[in-house]
Amino acid sequence: MSLKKIGVLVSGSGSNFQKLIDHIHDVYGEIVVVLSDKADAYGLIRGKNAGIDAVFLDPKEYPENETYNEKIIERLKGHGVELVVLAGYMRIMTPNFIKAYPNAIVNIHPALIPSFCGKGFYGMRVHQAVINYGVKVTGATVHFVNEVADGGPIIAQETVKVADDDTPESIQKKVLEIEHQLLPGAVKAICLDELEVNGRIVRKRLK
């Protein structure tokens, strides 16, 4: 069986992308391209270092997010991408994007969806909101992307404890550690065609 072709979208450091390079690339799937909306995203350098086509597409050159996304879809399709992974990608997915890749876009969110997610919950804001609310556990979620922000079918979740002396920064660090295991695990399961999606329920396929 040929390896599933994966396209990755990053806006920043790309530490999750690095885990995909280390554990998935050329083993369970083939990462054929990494795209970014930020020229200085370190994720692009990670891609280049791994010999993966790394492309910055400037959103300023497109009048709307929808037309920008058309350009991204064009690039992904041009590379034969079958699975899109958002690994710290900060732009909103427009309906044309979701239509082009139904149940084939995966996102990682640094909290336990449906808590601390949706509009405005990104980056350190998520972890600050966790502290402000006083929850005793938080975590990470990998999910398929649909038209609702952070609202698609959940593939995998893992928790971390919130200690009395935790700060947004210390929670971010703990959560990132579990993200680094959760995302490759989910992508591997998809590459091996181990999952089935029924409505919003994702289960392991019975063999």
Residue 81 interacts with ligand GRF (CB under 6 A): yes or no = no
- The C-alpha atoms of residue 65 and residue 80 are separated, in whole angstroms, by 22
Q: Which of 46, 109, 143, 174 binds ligand GRF (CB under 6 A)?
A: 109
79 given a catalytic annotation: no
Half-sphere CA count of 159, side-chain side, radius 13 A: 8
88, two tokens: 């710290």
Residues whose CB falls within 8 Å of the CB of residue 155, separated by 6 or more in sequence, listed in order: 106, 142, 143, 144, 186, 189, 190, 195, 202
In this complex, which beta carbon is closest to ligand GRF, that of residue 149 or of residue 195? 149
Q: Which of 4, 16, 54, 76 binds ligand GRF (CB under 6 A)?
A: 16
- The C-alpha atoms of residue 137 and residue 46 are separated, in whole angstroms, by 32
Residue 87 interacts with ligand GRF (CB under 6 A): yes or no = yes
Give the active site residue among 109, 127, 143, 180.
109
Residue 139 interacts with ligand GRF (CB under 6 A): yes or no = no
Residue 14 interacts with ligand GRF (CB under 6 A): yes or no = yes
Q: Can you give the binding site for ligand GRF, defined by CB under 6 A?
A: 12-17, 87-88, 108-110, 176, 179
